[in-house]
Structure 1
Amino acid sequence: MKNFRILSLILTFAFVLILAACGGSIGESTSSNGGEADSGLEGSSDSTSGETQSVVLTTAGTSGTFYAVGAAFTQIVNNNSNVLDVTNQASGGSVENVRLIDNKEVAFAMLGGDSAVDAYNGKREFEGEPRKDELKGLFSMYSQPLNLVALADSGIKSFSDLEGKKVAVGAPGSGSEVKSQITLESLGLPYDSGVKQQYLSFSEAADGMKDGQIDAAFVWAGVPTPAVQDLAAIRDIVVIPFTDEEVEKVNAAQEAIYGETIPGGTYDGVDEDIQTLAVNTQVVAGADVDEEIVYEFVKQIFDHIDDVHAAHNSMKEMTLESAPKNVIELHPGAKKYFEEKGVLSQ
C-alpha cells in the first residue's frame, strides 16, 4: 500500500508538470504586441526587431478573382517569410479598399487600375480628395476584363439589348459599379433610366441569374471568374461582345478602360473570342507603411513568381518586368526591390 501511495504521488506530480508546460504554449503569438497598430499592422513596426509583422491585404468579394489571388499571395508570403504574416481580407472592392487604406485599417489593397488612378488624382468617386501623399503603388498584376454575362435564352445579344433590363452592376459603391456606370452612360444608356440596375456582388449576380431574377450582369474580374464559371456549369450563358466603336467611346470617357479579348473556351458554351473592355489591376499600400515591410512583401511575391503563376490563370500575365509599369507612384519599398532586380533605372 505504501508503495502504491508513493507511485500515485509521483504520477500526480508528473501530470501537474505536463499541464503547466502545455498551459504555457496555449495562445502564444508570434508577436509580443497583440494590439493593432497603424496601417493594418500588428506587432512592432521595426522589421529588424526579429518579431513577425502581421499585416492585412484587402481584396474583394470571395467569389471574385481578387480574393483568390489574395489567398495565393498570402500563402506564398506566409510560407516563405520569417518576418511577415499576411491575412487576406474580403471586402466590397476597390472603392472600399481605398477607404480602408485611408483609415489605416489595412496595409495593402488590391485595386482596379481606374480606381487606383482616380484615388491618386482625386477624380470621380474620389473627387477633390487626391491621395498623392497617402497612397503608393507596389506593382501591377493582370487585366481585369468585363464579363458582361446574360443567359442564352434571354434574347440579349448586344449591348443595346440591355435597355430596360434588370442588370447587376456590382456591389454598391464598388469599383465595379463605377466602371459599369461609366460604360452604360458612355454608350447611351442613362444610369437611372436606361437599365434597372441591381447592386449585387458577383456571387449574388450569378445566383440571381440562376433564379431568373436578373437578366444580365457586369462582372469585372480576371478570367476565368469563379462566379461566371459556376453559372455556366448550371445554365447556358452568353458573354456580350463590344464593337470597336463601343470600346473607343468608353475609352474616351475613362482612359484607364481599354479593349481586351476573352479567349473562346474560357467558359462552358462560349467558344468564340469575345471583344470586351478591361482595366489593369494594381496592389497598393498606404504611404506610411514601413519601407522594409513593403520590400519583404514584394520580394516574396516576385522571388516565387512561378508559384504565383500556378495559383490562377490570370496571374500568368504578371512578370517582374511588367510589374512596375502602369502603376501609380511606387512605394519606396517596392522601388527598392525593382531597382535591385534591374527593372527600374537607378
Structure 2
Amino acid sequence: MNKLLTGIAAIAAGAAFAAGSAYAEPTYRFGGGPSGGAWHPATSAGTQLLNQELKGKYNFIYSPSGGSVANVRSVGLGNYATAWGHIGQIYQSWNGTGTFEKDGANKNFRVVARVRAQSQIFAVLADNPIQSFSDMKGKVVNLLSRGSGSNVNCVNVMKALGMMDNIEARYLGFAASARALGDRQIDVFCSAGVPFLIPALTQLSVSKPVRYISLTEEEQKKVTSAYRFYSPITIPVQKDIKGMDKAARSIAYDVWWIAHKQMSDEAVYDMLKVVAAPQNLERLTKAAAYWKDLGGDFNALEEHKILVHPSAARYWKERGVKVPMSIVKGY
C-alpha cells in the first residue's frame, strides 16, 4: 500500500511539474518612472500592451522607479529586464564613471531603441526677480529627487557653472516641486523637458504663470564641454506654458531603451515587434505621447561605443533603418 501511494504521489508530482513547465512563461520586469513624470504613464501603457499582445509567451511586470539612475542601475544588475535611461547614466554605467564610479563598468545590457530627445528646464514664477543663473545665488533651487536622471542633469548643470555651493538645494519630486514653486517654498524648479514640457509645471502655469531661465551662450558651452553626452539647444517659446515669453538656451540629451542580458534574443525581438509596430505605436502615443519618436537611429552611440542588441539591429533593419554594425554585438 505504501509503495502504491508513493508511486501515485510521484506521478502526480511529475504531472504538476510538466503542467507548470508548459504554462510558465518567462517573466520580465519593465522599469518605469516616478509619479508626476512622463515615464510612469508611458512605460505602464507599454507594459500593458506587451502583455495583451504576447500573453502566454512572456509576462511583463511594470515596476515604478525613481527614474533614470535607478533604471540603469537596476537593469545593469538584472533586477529589471528592461527600462529607459538617459544617455548620461547609460554612458556612466557602461564606463563606470560619475554616478556609477563605485558600481564599476557594467556591460550586462544592450540598447534596443532610441526613445526620444529631452531638454533640461529651469523655471521660476513669472513675477520672480530671477532673470539668469547668476541670480540664483543664495536662492532655493529644487534639483528633483535623488535617484532620478533629471536630478543628475540638474546637478551637472549647477556643477559645471560652479553654482552648487551657492544655492540652497532641495530634492523634491516632480509633483511636489511644482506645488512648492506655486507656494513659493522654492525659487527655481529644475526638471527634464519632454521635449520642452513637464506636466506638473504646465498645469501649475495655468493658475500661476512661469518663465524659463536661459543659459548664456558661454554658460551653455561650459556645460556641454564638461559633459560630452549633452548638446546645446534653444527651447522655443511654449504656448502651453502660461507666462513664457522668451526662448531659453539649455541642454539636450537622448533617452534610450535598454535590455539586460537575461532577455533572450527572441524576447527582445518580439518586444520591439509589438511596441514599435506602427499601429501599436499609434495606440501608445494616444495614451502617452512620450512614445511618439521611438525609433532605431543608433548613430549617436557610435561616439560613445555603447553596444546595440543584435535582435534590435535585426528588427530595425527589417524596418528599413540603417544600423551602424560597428556597435552591434551580443554578449
Q: Is TM more than 0.5 here?
A: yes
- Given the superposition, is the C-alpha separation of residues 246 and 345 from structure 1 closer, same or farther in structure 2, using an over 3 Å criterion? closer
Separation in 1 of the partners of 2:299 and 2:62? 24
Root mean square deviation of aligned Cα: 2.3
Q: CA deviation at 1:132?
A: 4.7
Show the counterpart of 1:108: 82
Amino acid at match of 1:162: M
Show the counterpart of 2:294: 318
Show the counterpart of 1:194: 166
Aligned pair partner of 2:194 in 203, 222, 239: 222
Separation in 2 of the partners of 1:157 and 1:175? 25
Q: CA deviation at 1:345?
A: 5.9
- Given the superposition, is the C-alpha separation of residues 260 and 310 from structure 1 closer, same or farther in structure 2, using an over 3 Å criterion? farther
Aligned pair partner of 2:307 in 329, 341, 344: 329
Aligned pair partner of 2:27 in 13, 29, 54: 54
Show the counterpart of 2:16: none
Aligned pair partner of 2:184 in 212, 226, 251: 212
Separation in 1 of the partners of 2:174 and 2:73? 21
Show the counterpart of 1:242: 215
1:261 aligns with 2:234: yes
Spell out, residue by residue over 1:117-153, the C-alpha distance to the aligned partner (whole angstroms, 9 max, x if none).
1111111011164445312111111112111111112
Separation in 1 of the partners of 2:160 and 2:209? 29
What SS does the corresponding residue of 1:154 show, helix, strand or coil?
coil
Map 1:104-143 → 2, pairs under 5 A: 104-127=78-101, 129-143=103-117
Show the counterpart of 1:293: 267
Show the counterpart of 1:22: none
Q: CA deviation at 1:103?
A: 3.7
Show the counterpart of 1:179: 153
Identity of aligned residues (%): 26
Separation in 2 of the partners of 1:278 and 1:345? 22
- Given the superposition, is the C-alpha separation of residues 244 and 68 from structure 1 closer, same or farther in structure 2, using an over 3 Å criterion? farther
Amino acid at match of 2:171: Y
Map 1:266-281 → 2, pairs under 5 A: 266-281=240-255
Spell out, residue by residue over 1:221-274, the C-alpha distance to the aligned partner (whole angstroms, 9 max, x if none).
414311111221231111112222222110000011112233321422324433
Amino acid at match of 1:260: I
Aligned pair partner of 1:305 in 281, 294, 298: 281
Give the count of matched residue pairs. 297
Map 1:161-180 → 2, pairs under 5 A: 161-180=135-154
Normalising by structure 1, we get a TM-score of 0.78
Show the counterpart of 1:73: 46
Contact 1:84 / 1:296 at 8 angstroms: preserved in 2?
A: no
Contact 2:175 / 2:200 at 8 angstroms: preserved in 1?
A: yes
What SS does the corresponding residue of 2:28 show, helix, strand or coil?
strand
Q: CA deviation at 1:52?
A: 4.3
1:341 aligns with 2:314: no
Q: CA deviation at 1:205?
A: 0.8
Contact 1:122 / 1:131 at 8 angstroms: preserved in 2?
A: yes
Instruction: Flag structure 1 segments of 5+ consecutive residues without an equivalent.
Output: 1-31, 34-43
What SS does the corresponding residue of 2:127 show, helix, strand or coil?
helix
Which structure has the larger Rg?
1
